[in-house]
Structure 1
């Protein structure tokens, strides 16, 4: 079964912000980071259920999963044939709160 990966507006904003931060502060190549992220997102098209449940899953009705990409968490949910990416955030940041998840749905 193949899934379609969709990004929330928040996830798109997260990507732009991370890219900009890497470009300004290095030392990584922001284009390499973005290409790797795109590959990781493409991998979610095949087996998103193989990813672990995210800590956010404990306080929401919708199943929330995460995929790790370096020090970042790709937080997503599976809706029928879609992988809906809620946020992409550094693992050191606090977990998404329930009201933040509800705003994105």
Structure 2
């Protein structure tokens, strides 16, 4: 089964923010990072359940999984849920960020 992959407004804003921050310090790397992130997200079209549950999955009203992207100190957590035949990217967070709490969770 092939899933559709969609990003929420929150995830789009987080991706843009990370990209703009990286671009300020290293424009060539920022473009490479963005392409790699989009490719990683695209892999969720097939077998998204291969990814582990997110550490903070219990603060969500539905099952939330995570896909890790990056290396060393530059790892991002792609938090997503699966609804029917669609994968929704909910958040894209740097691994150094604190875990989400129930107060921060958007129900999109």
Relative to the length of structure 2, the TM-score reads 0.89
User: Any gaps of 5 or more consecutive residues in structure 1?
Assistant: none
Question: Within 5 Å, which residues of 2 pair with 1:3-82?
Answer: 3-26=3-26, 29-70=29-70, 71-82=75-86
How far 1:98 sits from its partner (Å)? Answer: 1.8
* RMSD, matched Cα: 1.4
Deviation at 1:96, TM superposition (A): 1.5
Rounded Cα–Cα distance in structure 2 between residues aligned with 1:19 and 1:56: 24
Q: Deviations over 1:46-88 (max 9, x none)?
A: 0110001001212333001000001100001111111111110
Shift of 1:29: 1.2
Runs of 4 or more off by more than 4 Å in structure 1?
none
Any stretches of 5+ residues in structure 2 without a counterpart? Answer: none
Give the match's secondary structure for 2:103: helix
Number of matched pairs: 104
**Greater helix content:** 1
TM-score, with normalisation over the residues of structure 1?
0.91
